[in-house]
A and B are shown apart, each in its own frame.
Chain A
């Protein structure tokens, strides 16, 4: 039981990080970006490529399975994925912004297909791993208590970093001028302009943050599972389910809504695998999505008008 919950929270952490970025872009740009999952996959592969270039000879940090090399590779992947998101906006979304959200959604479908195909062409379809070495799980709770709980140091790091990143983003949105400007632009874009907020600066910051979080989520997915060019597409339904469950809009609480949504999705998937079998994993996200839309279409913390 405990293991089931922990597994769900680990998967949920990955979903949560990517969902925060997706929720931000949805609130600011007011369209569902279906290429967000591909940013996650690109982030994961960029880290793999940089890690391969610098070599993996560095000693592991403490109890973790990786050294400073992969940390540096992750930072490069964050920068690269943020640049990819900004580039995608400059090439595609910015030119279509005046056409309305339906056009942008369809464009994001196209962008998703192109990004996935390019990744598959570049890296091939065979699953890859950051490390071939096996990490020993630490016994957290003895088996006698609700089946026990064993986690690797990497898994614990994923959960902790998700909460730290969400808390940092909370502080950014709450206390910095740019963060407040982003909340203002999400709530009322015209009024934000009248106040003197440059919408292009807000858009740029949104893509950078969204891309960066997607990259971190991608690396976490790579650490805990494996890398596949379709990994972003496979996470798309859980991502949207988490965002819709948390609610979208201009309130800071939607950030934590996305985190909570991610955890709920992770736990649902974990429960579906345990109770029904691995082939039912994707069904969990679909069921959650359907129930939210029927019961609370604005999500847990969403604006009423969102």
Chain B
């Protein structure tokens, strides 16, 4: 069976001759959570953006369940089964919670009411504030809404860019608990994270990206049980 996502020899470059991601190779197996870790500027977010069509790929290819999606426009990705939750500005702040969800459901031609009700069942806190403008939500609520918005199209792969950024430890726990539920539902997850400890506790495997290239890919237990490896690749982040 094909991997949920295969990234092969991928170069990502905003300026000619200055690649941010350099020949990256990664796979996310079906139903797996893969965390991408690494220092600032390692190219983690650019890699995620390139996979979803928001950053220019100059070499290599990406396969979603065996299907080449390297040149697929960003707006077609959701129809391929790939949802993306950006780090910043990940909700439409001028729309209410329900409007955000209804829009995402309507675009993929899902039954609006049924889909939104289903999502409210998974995210009951959102239902309580359904008429609130997304721009008025707290960081954690926004993150929940962004995840809910991504999931409403029933993707097979969910890519999240630093979902813990700016959240309190309690809220990070809640967001990551929700991701566990999502994985249980059979959705593969590619998680770009700076919060090493939380990411390693959640994911099945982790990849360390340094200067745009994966340096180590291993089960999280290996990182957790071998502090020297973590120290070597992550430096001070490992002690968080």
Interface size class of B (residues with CB under 8 A): 20 to 34
Instruction: State the CA gap A300–B153 with chains docked (Å).
Output: 36
Residues on A with C-beta less than 8 A from B95 are: 180, 183-184, 187
Q: Kindly state the separation between the CA atoms of A40 and B68 in the bound complex, as whole angstroms.
A: 46
**Bound complex: CA A9 to CA B106 (Å):** 39
Q: Which residues of B contact A183 (CB under 8 A)?
A: 92, 94-95
Whether a CB of chain B sits under 8 angstroms from the CB of A196 is yes
Q: Is the CB of B92 within 8 A of A194?
A: no
Decide if B94 touches A195 in the complex (CB within 8 Å): no
Q: Is the CB of B104 within 8 A of A195?
A: yes
- In the complex formed, the residue of A with least CB distance to B99 is A180
Residues from chain B with a CB closer than 8 A to the CB of A199 are 75
B residues contacting A by CB (< 8 A) are 52-54, 73-79, 83-84, 86, 89-95, 99, 102-104, 106-108, 149, 153
| A195–B106 CA distance with the chains assembled, in angstroms | 10
Interface residue? A204 (CB, 8 A): no
> A187-B92, A194-B86, A196-B153 are contacts. A181–B74 as well, Cβ < 8 Å?
no
Q: Which residues of A contact B83 (CB under 8 A)?
A: 194
Query: Which residues of chain B have C-beta atoms less than 8 A from A195's C-beta?
Result: 75, 78, 103-104, 107, 149
Q: Are A194 and B106 in contact (CB under 8 A)?
A: no
Chain A contacts for B92, CB-based, 8 A: 183-184, 187-188, 191-192, 250
Report A88 CB to chain B, min CB distance, Å: 24
Closest Cβ of chain B: how far from A85's Cβ, in Å? Answer: 23
Q: Do residues A196 and B79 form an inter-chain contact, with CB atoms below 8 A?
A: yes
Within 8 A of B (CB), among A194-238: 194-199
Cα distance A187–B93 in the bound complex, in angstroms:
8
The residue in B73, B94, B106 that gathers the most chain A C-beta atoms within 10 A of its C-beta is B94
Q: Residues of B contacting A188 with CB < 8 Å?
A: 89, 92-93
Q: Given known contacts A181-B107, A183-B94, A196-B153, is B75 in contact with A191 (CB within 8 Å)?
A: no
User: How distant is the Cα of A197 from the Cα of B79 in the complex, in angstroms?
Assistant: 11
A36 at the interface (CB under 8 A from B): no
A191 CA to B74 CA, complexed, in Å? 9
Inter-subunit contact A177/B89 (CB<8 Å): no
| A267 shortest CB reach to chain B, Å | 29
Q: Let me know if B107 and A177 touch, CB within 8 A.
A: yes
Also in contact, A197 and B107, with CB within 8 A (given A180-B95, A180-B99, A187-B94): yes
Question: When chains A and B are docked, how far (Å) is the Cα of A198 from the Cα of B84?
Answer: 16
12 other A-B residue contacts (CB within 8 Å) besides A181-B107, A184-B95, A191-B91: A180-B95, A190-B54, A191-B92, A193-B53, A193-B54, A193-B75, A194-B52, A195-B75, A195-B104, A195-B149, A196-B153, A197-B75
Instruction: Please determine whether B103 and A181 come into contact, CB atoms closer than 8 angstroms.
Output: yes
Q: What's the minimum C-beta distance from A190 to chain B, rounded to whole angstroms?
A: 6
B74 CB contact (under 8 Å) in A184, A194, A249: A194
Task: Name which residue of chain B comes closest to A190, CB basis.
Answer: B54
A196 and B89 contact, CB distance less than 8 A: no
Closest approach, in angstroms, between the C-beta of B23 and any C-beta of chain A?
25
Least Cβ–Cβ distance between B162 and chain A, in angstroms: 15
In the complex, the answer to whether B103 meets A190 with C-beta atoms within 8 Å is no
Q: Is A251 an interface residue (CB 8 A)?
A: yes
Q: Which of A184, A249, A250 contacts B103 (CB 8 A)?
A: A184
Q: Which residue of A lies closest to B74 (CB)?
A: A193
Measured CA separation A147–B91 after assembly (Å): 53
In whole Å, how far is A301's beta carbon from the nearest beta carbon of chain B?
11
| Contact string against B for A residues 108-145, beta-carbon threshold 8 Å, 1 for contact and 0 otherwise | 00000000000000000000000000000000000000
Q: B198: shortest Cβ distance to chain A, in Å?
A: 24
Complex Cα gap A194–B159 (Å): 11
**CB-contact partner of B78 in A194, A250, A303, under 8 A:** A194
* Complex CA–CA separation, A184 to B134 (angstroms): 12
B104 cross-chain contacts in A, Cβ below 8 A: 195-196
Rounded to whole angstroms, the CA-CA distance of A196 and B105 in the bound complex is 10
Smallest CB–CB gap between A34 and chain B, Å?
27
12 residue pairs from A and B, CB less than 8 Å apart: A180-B102, A183-B92, A188-B93, A190-B89, A192-B75, A193-B54, A193-B75, A194-B78, A195-B75, A195-B149, A197-B75, A250-B92
Closest A residue by C-beta to B152: A195
**Shortest Cβ distance from A40 into chain B, in angstroms?**
28
| 5 closest cross-chain pairs (CB), A and B | A196-B78, A193-B74, A196-B107, A250-B94, A193-B75
Specify which of A188, A193, A195, A198 lies most central, judged by the most chain B CB atoms within 10 Å of its CB.
Answer: A195
A198 to B79, CA, bound (A): 12
Q: Are B94 and A196 in contact (CB under 8 A)?
A: no
Residues on A with beta carbons closer than 8 Å to the beta carbon of B107: 177, 181, 195-197
